[in-house]
Amino acid sequence: MALLQESVICILAAVGLCTVVWLIAAVILDARRVDRTCARVWAVVPVYGACGALEQTVRRLKRECCCGARTRVLLVDCGMEDETRRVAQILARADALVTLCAAEEVAGYLCKDAANEG
């Protein structure tokens, strides 16, 4: 019985060690591969009506987008209700990477970003 327990512990330790080495290698290789100075991603989110999940949508976009690039979220007002607009304004004030704009201003924001940081 002791031999079985020691074998299981040994296997789990080996798997854990391999996982740690794999994660460290992935971080090192990813850091070398991505040039973070030019990696910019815009997530353009057209928002209309009442959007109760706007905050969760913004958080998920910022968390899950594009391998290390700083994700900027552009919330486009396509006829938001007042409460949704208030939430969008709060999100934009709280995070410099979140912007609220009218539908007519989208191209201006994207072109200005490309000119300033391109």
DSSP class of 104: G
- CA 57, 59, 60, 61 dihedral sign is positive
DSSP readout, 71-83?
EEEEEEEEEE-HH
C-alpha span between 85 and 24 (Å, rounded) = 42
Higher-confidence residue: 116 or 75?
A: 75
For 51-91, what is each residue's pLDDT tens digit?
Answer: 778 888 888 887 776 555 677 888 998 888 889 889 889 98
Residue 11 banded pLDDT, cuts 50, 70, 90? very high
Q: What is the pLDDT of residue 118?
A: 45
What is the residue whose two structure tokens read 């020691």? 6
Query: What proportion of the chain, given as a percentage, has pLDDT over 70?
Result: 81
**Structural domain boundaries of the chain?**
1-33, 40-117
Max mean pLDDT range (8-17, 70-79, 108-117): 8-17
Provide the Cα torsion 82, 55, 53, 49; round to 10°: 30
For 96-107, what is each residue's pLDDT tens digit?
Answer: 888 898 888 888
User: Are the C-beta atoms of 47 and 84 separated by less than 8 Å?
Assistant: yes
What is the residue whose two structure tokens read 């391109």? 118
Tokens of 106: 């989208």
Tokens of 84: 């949704």
Q: Residue 112's CB: how many other CB atoms inside 10 A?
A: 11
